[in-house]
Structure 1
């Protein structure tokens, strides 16, 4: 069961989650939702545009994982949310590591932050932003414009939380392997084009490791390349 705390406006739902934890005013499965964020955060220090009509949510989790497995939280969250949204008639695909796409356009993103003690994850705060009825930038898409069974923001919240719970439960029971196989199948594009050291490379995503790394097979290279999430971006093809 989730406990939901709502705000009209806040700097960042992730920041508020950490503040509430520090004050012992929140615990695992607390959900913070804001109608608008003034300082929403994305991956790699990017600002997450947080206009009215979007879903801006952070979920506090206490996963039983080693620090080295932290990226699994983003992977199972993205997989679970995509699966749950697809049950509503949406056609959500994934972009490694943390993006939700429809028709190759960005629907939403996930930002996972963790507190580590003795190489174990003490708490994780999973921030989720999804375009619902808000204005979206070029290259993005809003779910509220599409034909799904969802009729309100509250229904969207319910589906997203169900997806997170589904991902965490499956990972707890079976480990991440099965989720990773399905995650790979749900990628919007497995083809990668990248300029590295001045060379234009083309290749294919062939695997995602349990620690979150991407495995790419570049054309003309005998050895597969392995990339850390913080050092490599797939980009939009």
Structure 2
């Protein structure tokens, strides 16, 4: 679908982070009427849900928050509070699957998204996965997205109706700096986002987790100042 085409519905997986906010802006810029789906999955960084609400309101997106207890599965520093979020050197980020990976998270999220879309007659799903400046999560790979696109089509009534899902990943081949530049060109207010895996009680970022470091690196390379408030002394 191109800008200027007849308006179509889409579902944006909206975490409240930098990437998903940019995806939402891209969807709107391309003429889609957005629905937004966020997940309350037992994550330690629940501040992202408040950010998602603010972003959905800004873009006039009908917003849903789906309760999902992935902390029952555990195995991730994001859902198991007994596991510390690591402070990984920037040059080591992306080497192997980190402890912040949530097992099968995007598989689960996209499956639920498919059910929501099936009921609401939506064929387009936007997700802000990235395979360049990222933490090394296996469920951000292009081949995974292609496989899920086929699976959710075959596993729903869409396959019997001659319809199919399209999973849009407009950021998958972009560096974080390129994502930020694109978002700023589209008017994204990045003060309404959260990227930190281990924010303080006020929701301010730690500046030490891999997500914070990738974000700070991206803003620096893009030539812009990150609007979020980091602890004193945090710099790349």
Higher relative contact order (CA 8 A, sep 6+): 2
The TM-score normalised by the length of structure 1 is 0.28
Higher helix share: 2
Higher strand share: 1
